[in-house]
Chain A
Amino acid sequence: MRSLAHPPLPEQRDFPSRLHHPRVAARLGAWLGICFFVAFATGLVSHLAQQPDSWLPSRPVWGYRVTQGIHVAAGTACVPLLLAKLWTVYPRFWIRPPRQLRELALHGAERASIGVLVAAAVFELATGLANVTTWYPWSFSFRPTHFAVAWVAVGALVVHIAVKLPVVRAALAPAAADEPEPPGEGLSRRGLVRTAGVASVAAVVLTAGGTVPWLRRVAVLAPRSGTGPQGIPVNKSAHAAGVTATATDPAYRLEVRYGETSVSLSRDDLLAMPQQTSGLPIACVEGWSAHGEWTGVRLRDLLDAVGAPRGRSVEVSSLQEHGPFRVTHLPHQYADDDLTLLALALDGEPLSLDHGFPCRLIAPNRPGVLQTKWVRSLEVPA
C-alpha cells in the first residue's frame, strides 16, 4: 500500500465523467472562439479609434457605442464558456508525457501552446473585468498591455485550432450528433453545453445595464447603473482631475489658435455665438454609454474664427494638469463634422462641473476618454 503522505498524482482515467469528452470541448470551444474573435475585432476598432492619427470615419454617430458595448459584452460572455471549457478538458492536464523523444517534443510543444493560450485568455478576461470597474491592481499600463496580450491570445488560439482541427471536425460532424450519450446519473453532455450557454447569456444580461438602457433594472452586477449627474455617468470627476478651481474661475478664457492668429473667449462670449444642439452618445472604453442632447458652439465655427482651413486636425487641451488625456488629438474628419461641438449645456442645463464645465468637446463616433472635458485651448498647427 502506498504511503498516505505521498498520494499518487491523479491520471486522466481518474476523471470518469462522460462530460470530459471532445464533443463537449469542441462545442464549448466553438462558442468561446466566436466570442474571443468578436472581442478581438471590436478591440482592434477601439485601439484604432484611440490612435492620434485614427482614420475611422465620424459616422455612424453610434458606431463606437455599439462596437465597444459588444467588446465588453463578448468578453463577459467568455467567462462562463472559458471556465466550462477548461473544466471539460481538465483531465488532459494529468496525461503523462510520452517517452519517445519525437513524441515528447510534440507533446511539450502542444502543452506550451496551451499554457500560453490559457494564461493569455485568463489575463485578458481578468484585466478587462477589473478595468470596467476602474480597478487597476497592477503597475503596467492597461491599454497597450491588454492590446498586446490580445494578439498573443488570438495567435495561440489559432495555433490551438490548427492542432485540434481533426478532433474538432470529428466531434462536430453530423454523424457524431446521432451517437447516443453513455448512460449516467448527472448532467448530460448536451445539458452542460446548454447550461454554459445559459450562464453566458445571463452574464451579459446581468452586466449590460450601462450599455443597454432597458436592461438597467435587471443588470444587478453591472459596474455602473448608467445614471449620474444630468443623467450621464462620470469617468473622471472635476475633483479627481484637480480642475475645480480653474474651471470655476471667472477669469477663465478659451484660447483658439491657428499659427499666429488666436482668439480668447470667455464662457459668455461662447454663449453669445450661434448655438447648436447635437444628440450624441458618450461611449466609454469601459463599455457603458449614454445619449445626451448637447448644446454649444460648432467646433468648425470656432476654427473658422481663426481662419483654420478644413482638413486639419486639432490639439485639444484640458485645464487638468496631469493624466494621459490632458491633451488629445482630434483628427480632421471629426473636427470638420457638423455635429462636433464645444458643448456648454447638456439636456438644456449648463454643463455640470463633472461633465466638463465651462465647456467640453463632444464628437460623433469617438471613445469617451477623448471627448476632452474642461477645455482650455484648441490649436490647429500651422
Chain B
Amino acid sequence: MRIRILLGGLGLAVAAYGAWLLLGDDLADLVTIAVWLAAGVVLHDFVLVPLTLGVSWLGLRVLPGGSRAAASAGLVVLGTLTVLAVPVLGRWGANTDNTTILDRHYGLGWLAVAGLTIMGVLLVLVAKRRSGGPGARRR
C-alpha cells in the first residue's frame, strides 16, 4: 500500500507541474487547448468506438463463424493504421514551395496496406482450414 501512495503522490506532482506549465499561456490559448483535450476524448468515445462496434456488429452477421478471429485481427491492424494515416491522407500540411514534405502517394500506400492486411487474413484462414477446419487453433 505504501508504494501505491508514493506512486500516486508522485503522479499528482508530475501532472500538477504540467498543469502549472500550461497556466503560463494566455486565456485564448488555454481555451483552444481545453477544446483539443476534450475533442480527443469525444471523438474517440462517441465516433471511433461506435464506428468500431458497428463494423464488428456487421462482421458478426456477414462473416462465417470460423473466420471471425482472423477478421477481427485484420480490423485491429487496418483500423489503427488508418487512424494513424489520417494526417498524411488528408495532406493538410502540404506546402507548394516545399516538395520534400508529404511527397508520396499516400492513397496508394494505404491501398497497399489494406491489400496486404486482407491477404494476411485470407492466408491465415486458408492455413487454418488446411490444419483441420474452423476452430482448430493452437494455444
Interface set of A (CB-CB < 8 Å, partner B): 76, 79-80, 83-84, 86-87, 90, 93, 115-116, 118-120, 122-123, 126-127, 129-130, 132-141, 144-145, 147-163, 165, 180-181, 185-188, 190-192, 195-196, 198-199, 202-203, 206-207, 220-225, 227-229, 233-237, 239-240, 354
A161, B7: Cα distance in complex, Å: 8
Mark B101-139 against chain A: 1 for CB-CB distance below 8 A, else 0. Answer: 111101011101100000000000000000000010101
In the complex, the answer to whether B80 meets A115 with C-beta atoms within 8 Å is no
Q: Which of the listed residues B16, B37, B108 has the most CB atoms from chain A within 10 Å of its own CB?
A: B37
How many residue pairs between the two chains, A and B, have CB atoms under 8 Å in the bound complex? 233
Contacts of A202 in B (CB 8 A): 77, 81, 113
Contacts of B98 in A (CB 8 A): 234-237, 240, 354
Contacts of A144 in B (CB 8 A): 21, 24-25
In the complex, the answer to whether A155 meets B21 with C-beta atoms within 8 Å is no
**Partner of A155 from B11, B77, B95, B104 at Cβ < 8 Å:** B11
Contacts of B36 in A (CB 8 A): 123, 126-127, 138
**B29 CB, min distance to chain A CBs, angstroms:** 4
Q: Which 7 A-B pairs have the closest CB atoms?
A: A155-B15, A151-B18, A220-B109, A158-B11, A122-B40, A135-B93, A155-B14
B47 CB-CB contact with A under 8 Å = no
A147, B14: Cα distance in complex, Å: 12
Contacts of A152 in B (CB 8 A): 15, 18-19, 22
Q: A93-B45, A192-B76, A220-B106 are in contact. List 10 more A-B contacts (CB 8 A).
A: A90-B49, A129-B84, A133-B87, A134-B95, A141-B29, A145-B25, A152-B22, A153-B18, A155-B11, A155-B12
In the complex, the answer to whether A79 meets B7 with C-beta atoms within 8 Å is no
In the complex, the answer to whether A185 meets B101 with C-beta atoms within 8 Å is no
In the complex, the answer to whether A139 meets B29 with C-beta atoms within 8 Å is yes
**Partner of B14 from A84, A145, A151, A165 at Cβ < 8 Å:** A151
A134, B87: Cα distance in complex, Å: 10
A154, B81: Cα distance in complex, Å: 24
Contacts of B87 in A (CB 8 A): 129-130, 132-133, 135, 223
In the complex, the answer to whether B29 meets A225 with C-beta atoms within 8 Å is no
Contacts of B37 in A (CB 8 A): 119-120, 123, 149
In the complex, the answer to whether A135 meets B92 with C-beta atoms within 8 Å is yes
Contacts of A187 in B (CB 8 A): 68-69, 72-73, 76
In the complex, the answer to whether B84 meets A140 with C-beta atoms within 8 Å is no
In the complex, the answer to whether A239 meets B25 with C-beta atoms within 8 Å is no
Mark B43-61 against chain A: 1 for CB-CB distance below 8 A, else 0. Answer: 0110011001000000000
In the complex, the answer to whether B73 meets A191 with C-beta atoms within 8 Å is yes
In the complex, the answer to whether B104 meets A84 with C-beta atoms within 8 Å is no
Chain B interface SS verdict (over half): helix
Mark B84-102 against chain A: 1 for CB-CB distance below 8 A, else 0. Answer: 1111101111010111111
Contacts of A220 in B (CB 8 A): 104, 106, 108-110, 112-113
**Partner of B100 from A84, A116, A161, A227 at Cβ < 8 Å:** A227
Contacts of A159 in B (CB 8 A): 7-8, 11-12, 15
What are 15 A-B residue pairs whose CB atoms fall within 8 Å in the complex?
Answer: A79-B83, A119-B38, A133-B102, A135-B92, A144-B24, A149-B22, A155-B15, A163-B8, A186-B72, A187-B72, A191-B72, A191-B73, A221-B113, A237-B95, A239-B97
**Partner of B93 from A90, A123, A134, A225 at Cβ < 8 Å:** A134
A50, B88: Cα distance in complex, Å: 26
Closest to A203 in B: B84
A195, B120: Cα distance in complex, Å: 12
**B62 CB, min distance to chain A CBs, angstroms:** 14
Interface residues of B in 1-32 (CB under 8 A from A): 3-8, 10-19, 21-22, 24-25, 28-29, 32
Contacts of A158 in B (CB 8 A): 7-8, 10-11, 14
Closest to A10 in B: B53
Contacts of B104 in A (CB 8 A): 220, 222, 225
A127-B36, A133-B101 are known contacts. Are A188 and B137 too (CB-CB below 8 A)? Answer: yes
In the complex, the answer to whether B76 meets A133 with C-beta atoms within 8 Å is no
In the complex, the answer to whether B18 meets A79 with C-beta atoms within 8 Å is no
In the complex, the answer to whether B11 meets A156 with C-beta atoms within 8 Å is yes
